[in-house]
Amino acid sequence: MMATAIQRYLGELGRRLRLDPKERLEVLRELQAHLEDKAQELQQRGLSPESAWRLAAQELGSPAKVGDELYAAHHRTSLAEACLAALPHVLFGVLFALHLWNAIGVIAVFLMLATVTTVLVWRKGPPSWVYPWLGYCLVAPAAVWLFAFSEVSYATLELFLRGTPGIPVLLYVLGSVYVLLAIRLAWRLLVRVVRRDWLFASLMVFPFPVLVSWLVYLNNNGGVLSYDRQQLLFVDGATALVFLLLAGTTAVVYRVGSRVVKVTTLAFAMPVIALLAGLTHLGSLWSGGAFLLLLLSVAGLALPAYLEGQVARGNRTAA
Question: 258: Cβ–Cβ under 8 A, 6 or more apart, which residues?
Answer: 72
Q: What is the pLDDT of residue 28?
A: 79
Q: What one-character-per-residue DSSP string does 113-124 give? A: HHHHHHHHHHTT
Whether residues 155 and 271 share a domain: the answer is: yes
Q: Mark whether 111 and 149 lie in a shared domain.
A: yes
Residue 226: pLDDT band by 50, 70, 90 thresholds?
Answer: low
19 and 80 assigned to the same domain:
no
Closest-CA residue to 253 (of 212, 310, 301): 301
pTM above 0.85, yes or no: no
Would you say 39 and 49 are in contact if contact means Cβ atoms under 8 Å apart? yes
> What is the pLDDT confidence band of residue 317, given thresholds at 50, 70 and 90?
low
Q: How many domains does the chain have?
A: 2
User: How far, in Å, CA of 143 to CA of 230, rounded?
Assistant: 25
Report the percent of the chain where pLDDT is more than 90: 19
Among the candidates 22, 47, 72, a domain finishes at: 72
* Residue predicted with more confidence, 297 or 165: 297
Domain ends where: 52, 72, 92? 72
Final residue of a structural domain among 57, 72, 87? 72
- Helix pair angle (21-44, 63-75), 10° resolution: 140
154/9 same-domain check = no
More confident residue, 193 or 220: 193
> 121 and 226 share a domain?
yes
Q: Are 117 and 139 within one domain?
A: yes
Q: Exposed, middle or buried by CB within 10 Å (0-12, 13-18, 19+), for 48?
A: exposed
Share of the chain above pLDDT 70, in %: 89
182: DSSP letter = H
Question: Average of pLDDT values for 275-291?
Answer: 78
Give the domain extent around 6: 2-72
